[in-house]
């Protein structure tokens, strides 16, 4: 039990040290004029957003509903596209076996034609002396 208490105390001290370091870094960064003005602008924007939400919560909820609907329709479109592509991939998987069969049939056909045509059947060019 004592060991557990000591570990919690060490974690607590570590957390305090991390927070103090972050606070010191934030204060030091505010020495820069650009950083101060950026923090001021972003802080005002954040406060304005919070104020708008508190005054008009229905408007924010409607925006969330619209965004959700748009995302849902986009996901459905993507799902349809993926399904279409998967169907095409399945179709293309069948093509090589059909192509192999066609090539073999063509080869056999040419071999049969070649076997029936002998050198006797082909007229020879005679030379005159």
Domain that holds residue 80: 57-114
Cα 35 to Cα 31: distance, rounded to the nearest angstrom:
8
Residue 39 sits in the same domain as residue 83? no
Query: Is 109 part of any domain?
Result: yes
Q: What is the per-residue pLDDT across 83-124, written as a single tens digit (0 to 9) for each?
A: 999 998 888 887 787 788 888 888 888 888 776 655 545 555
10-64 per-position pLDDT tens digit = 778 899 999 999 999 999 999 999 999 999 999 999 999 899 889 988 888 898 9
Same domain as 12, residue 47: yes
Q: What share of the chain is helix, strand, coil (3-state, %, to 5)?
A: 85, 0, 15
Written as six digits, the tokens of 112 are 């049969």
- 51 & 11 share domain: yes
66, 107: one domain:
yes
Say yes or no: 33 and 80 in one domain.
no
**Total of domains in the chain:** 2
65 Cα distance to chain centroid = 24
């Amino acid at each position: 039990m004592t060991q557990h208490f000591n570990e919690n105390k060490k974690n607590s001290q570590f957390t305090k040290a991390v927070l103090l370091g972050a606070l010191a870094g934030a204060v030091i960064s505010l020495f820069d004029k650009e950083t101060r003005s950026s923090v001021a602008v972003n802080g005002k924007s954040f406060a304005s957003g919070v104020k708008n939400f508190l005054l008009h919560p229905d408007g924010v909820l409607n925006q969330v509903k619209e965004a959700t609907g748009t995302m849902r329709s986009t996901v459905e479109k993507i799902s349809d596209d993926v399904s279409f592509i998967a169907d095409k991939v399945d179709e293309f998987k069948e093509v090589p076996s059909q192509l192999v069969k066609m090539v073999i049939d063509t080869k056999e056909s040419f071999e049969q034609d070649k076997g029936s045509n002998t050198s006797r059947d082909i007229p020879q060019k005679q030379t005159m002396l």
